[in-house]
Amino acid sequence: MGKRVLLIEDEPNIIEAISFILSRDGWTVHTHEDGLTAMDKLRSLPPDLVILDVMLPGRSGFDILRDLRSSETTKNIPVMMLTARGQDKDRDMAARLGATHFMTKPFSNAEVRDLVRNLIEA
């Protein structure tokens, strides 16, 4: 297993926290902050897992998830969606578009680590 994750997030504190948590757990963490070019990044080096923020500059995480699921190269990659808004409509939209898991911010370090482990082992 390659243990590579692509974190698509624009909040520096979240990037730093998740990168630290997962790096300590043996993951190679690549980050990307722009919604407009996220699919280019995904296609260039498909990761083992994507952590995708809902609200990004340029394009929403939902739009990126829709493209990710419709592409032969990326359609089977597990995707954990992150959002500061935990509304049911956001959860429902993520589920309809094919998110593997949906997590609200703030989150605990252990929760992120354990969910990433479970998603990749599933």
Q: Residue 46, preceding bond cis, omega within 30 degrees?
A: no
53-63 pLDDT, tens digit per residue, is 999 999 999 99
With H, G, I as helix, E, B as strand and everything else as coil, classify residue 22: helix
Half-sphere exposure at residue 17, Cβ-oriented, CA atoms within 13 angstroms: 16
Closest listed residue to residue 50, CA positions, set 26, 82, 72: 82
User: CB count, 10 Å around CB of 51?
Assistant: 28
Domains of the chain with bracketed CATH: 4-121 (3.40.50.2300)
Kindly report the pTM of this predicted structure.
Answer: 0.94
> 16 in helix, strand or coil?
helix
Question: How far, in Å, CA of 20 to CA of 119, rounded?
Answer: 18
Which H/E stretch holds residue 47?
A: none
118 — pLDDT class (breaks 50, 70, 90): very high
pLDDT digits (tens, 9 = 90+) for 71-117: 999 999 999 999 887 688 999 999 999 999 999 988 999 999 999 99
